[in-house]
Amino acid sequence: MRRNKYNAVKVKCEHCGFTHDSKMEAAYCTLLHLEARTQGTDIVHIDVFPVVTLGKNIKWKLDFCVWRAGPLAPYIQYCEFIDVKGQVTQDFKLKRKLFENTHPATLKVVTRKGKKWVEI
């Protein structure tokens, strides 16, 4: 059992094989993979741990990039970056602000409240 710098247990996902930084992150990965496998979903592809550049050569490793089919035509795709958070730190707030100022893609930040996933 390995732990990260926040003392969270690292967990390997059975669907994609990646080792996630926390149980909560691995649970959300499983949710995404199960959603992608259901019929009629708009998820085309899931990238795990994409790295984005936030200007001035600042790099940020997010948790997921979900590629979805467009509502009008399935061959037009758009991406949605997702970050799973247990705690919101000052470092995260700064990187989120930089992301929103430099990237046209959407950033969805989720956390778990009880048994439900809540967007922050």
If you average pLDDT over each of 12-26, 39-53, 72-86, 95-109, which comes out highest? 95-109
**Residue length of the chain:** 120
Say what the pLDDT of residue 41 is: 75
pTM above 0.85? no
Helix/strand/coil (H, E, C) string of 40-97?
CCCEEEEEECCEEECCCCCEEECCEEEEEECCCCCCCEEEEEEEECCCCCHHHHHHHH
Q: Which of 4, 30, 2, 1 is nearest to 87 (CA)?
A: 4
Q: Given this model, what pLDDT does residue 1 score?
A: 55
Look at residue 6 and give its three-state secondary structure.
Answer: coil
Q: What is the pLDDT of residues 17-43, one digit of tens each?
A: 888 888 889 899 988 888 888 877 778
Distance CA 92, CA 56 (A): 17
Which positions ≥6 away from 41 have C-beta within 8 Å? 35
Residue 65 has pLDDT above 70, yes or no: yes
The residue-averaged pLDDT of 64-84 equals: 82
Long-range contacts formed by 74-80: CB under 8 A, 24+ apart:
77/44, 78/105, 79/105, 80/105, 80/106, 80/108
The alpha carbon dihedral of 35, 37, 39, 41 has a sign of positive
